[in-house]
């Protein structure tokens, strides 16, 4: 009887130990699997984060590079434009200034304009000529004397303190005026010289 009790006790004990070992092994296995899953997820998230960071870094680099390139191009273009303007101004300013201060040159231009204002018309025309106030005694007196020779109509000569050089001319009714100041001449020549100067300086870029 005692032997059977001992045998039963041992059996229960062994079964308990075996069950506990199995449960412990299952717990360890589950823990291992969970740890592996956590580690795998962590690796995956780290890789995704790394790829995202690289993508953002590449985008930032490209944006900065594009901005730098664009800024550099704009700076170069601005510099080229400044150099071109300086060259054109140097080419135009002094010759134009000298020309508009040459009274004989101005006389010839005004005479040419008056003679060709309306060469096909036999009717007399009236023109209005505005000169700088400082030219009243020179150009003013000259064209007073030349009016009958140049025009079938009349020439109304006025003087303007605000006009420093050149002249303005138009119909007697002043419906419009053609301006030929030093600034007008400069702008005219600069307009045509600037593209040619740019090409000479920088080629066909």
- CA separation for the pair 92, 20 (Å, rounded): 105
Which of the following CATH numbers is that of domain 97-202: 3.30.1490.20, 3.50.50.60, 2.130.10.10, 3.30.2320.30? 3.30.2320.30
- CA separation for the pair 98, 137 (Å, rounded): 20
Q: Is 172:190 a contact under the CB 8 Å cutoff?
A: no
Q: Is 145:111 a contact under the CB 8 Å cutoff?
A: no
- CA separation for the pair 51, 58 (Å, rounded): 10
- In the DSSP assignment, the letter for residue 180 is E
Considering the entire predicted model, what is its pTM?
0.53
Higher pLDDT, 4 or 73: 73
174 token code pair = 């002043």
Which pLDDT belongs to residue 92?
A: 72
- CA separation for the pair 94, 140 (Å, rounded): 25
Taking only the tens place, the pLDDT of each residue in 130-162 is: 999 988 888 888 888 877 667 666 788 889 998
Taking only the tens place, the pLDDT of each residue in 101-118 is: 788 888 888 888 888 886
Q: How many C-beta atoms lie closer than 10 Å to residue 138's C-beta?
A: 14
Which pLDDT belongs to residue 1?
A: 59
Q: Using alpha carbons, list the distances in angstroms from residue 88 to 54, 174, 186, 196.
A: 50, 34, 9, 10
């Amino acid at each position: 009887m005692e032997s059977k009790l001992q045998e039963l006790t041992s059996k229960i004990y062994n079964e308990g130990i075996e069950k506990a070992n199995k449960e412990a092994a299952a717990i360890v296995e589950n823990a291992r699997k969970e740890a592996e899953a956590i580690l795998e997820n962590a690796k995956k998230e780290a890789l995704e984060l790394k790829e995202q960071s690289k993508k953002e870094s590449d985008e930032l680099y490209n944006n900065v590079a594009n901005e730098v390139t664009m800024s550099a191009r704009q700076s170069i273009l601005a510099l080229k434009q400044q150099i071109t303007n300086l060259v054109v101004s140097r080419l135009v300013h002094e010759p134009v200034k000298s020309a508009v201060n040459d009274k004989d040159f101005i006389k010839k231009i005004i005479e040419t304009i008056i003679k060709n204002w309306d060469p096909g018309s036999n009717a007399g025309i009236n023109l209005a000529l505005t000169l700088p106030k400082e030219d009243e005694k020179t150009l003013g007196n000259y064209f007073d004397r030349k009016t009958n020779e140049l025009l079938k109509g009349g020439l109304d000569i006025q003087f303007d303190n605000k006009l420093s050089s050149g002249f303005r001319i138009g119909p007697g009714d002043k419906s419009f005026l053609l301006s030929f100041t030093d600034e007008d001449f400069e702008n005219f020549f600069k307009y045509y010289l600037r593209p040619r100067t740019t090409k000479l300086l920088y080629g066909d870029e």
